[in-house]
Amino acid sequence: MTSAWIAGLPLIGGVAILARLMARRGRSGVYIMAATGVVLVVAAVVLLILTVQAGPAAAATATAAAAGGKAVAGAKLAAGAKAATAAAATSSGSNTAALLGAGIAVAGSTIGAGIAVAYTGAAALAAMSERPEVFGRAMVIVGLAEGIAIYGLIIGILLIGKA
């Protein structure tokens, strides 16, 4: 299913560049950019679904077809290959879920931390411009906001360890 990603990524990149160019047109460009964002999200979800569906199932079909062409003498080998393929598909599915969960945990926590640092950092700079002695307390608050990303990274590492 790599071909779907190879075909999809340049298309997604091209649409993103086109959207940036259209955003320079003013209000109508912003609407076009928002619609393009929706199209990009839908395309990414479709690619994700195609990749997940074609993962272990495609490998099991190919192995079964290769083993099914054997004669009666290879029947035991085909049965063993099917059992190994089923076991690999099961473990591959759980590995995929763990890795996907790790990616979601890290991405979500870093996005949340970025938003938190943006607001707390701006407020800290505003407070320090009025009263420079609040530097220490302001940096502690910004550091707590950055901790959110570290928690997500730890969860991601734990999930990868289980994969």
- The CATH number for 110's domain is 1.20.20.10
Q: Is residue 134 part of a domain?
A: yes
Q: Both 13 and 51 in a single domain?
A: yes
Of the three residues 69, 85, 117, the one that is the final residue of a domain is 69
If asked whether residues 56 and 109 sit together in one domain, one would say no
Residues 87, 63 contacting (CB under 8 angstroms): no
Residues 40 and 101 placed together within one structural domain of the fold: no
Specify the pLDDT at position 79: 47
Do residues 55 and 117 share a domain?
no
Q: Both 53 and 15 in a single domain?
A: yes
pLDDT of residue 102: 86
Query: 7 in a domain, yes or no?
Result: yes
Q: Is 81 within a domain?
A: no
- More confidently predicted of 96 and 25: 96
Containing H/E element for 52? Answer: helix 27-68
Say what the pLDDT of residue 150 is: 92
Could you say which DSSP state residue 131 is in?
-
Residues 162 and 98 in one domain: yes
> Are residues 102 and 148 both part of a single domain?
yes
Q: Is 55 exposed, middle or buried (0-12, 13-18, 19+ CB in 10 A)?
A: middle
Stronger pLDDT, 140 or 69, i.e. the higher one = 140
13 and 59 inside one domain: yes
Per-residue pLDDT tens for 58-86?
555 545 544 444 444 344 444 444 544 54
Task: Answer yes or no: pTM beyond 0.75.
Answer: no
Residues with Cβ within 8 Å of 17's Cβ and at least 6 positions away in sequence, in order, are: none
Q: What local confidence, expressed as pLDDT, does residue 124 receive?
A: 92
Cα–Cα distance for residue pair 152/156, rounded to 1 Å: 6
Q: pLDDT digit string (tens) for 108-130?
A: 899 999 999 999 999 999 999 99
Instruction: Assess if residue 88 is contained within a domain.
Output: no
- Residue 76 belongs to some domain of the structure: no
Host domain of residue 152 = 93-163
Pair (97, 163) in one structural domain:
yes
**How many structural domains is the chain composed of?**
2
Residue 6 covered by a domain: yes
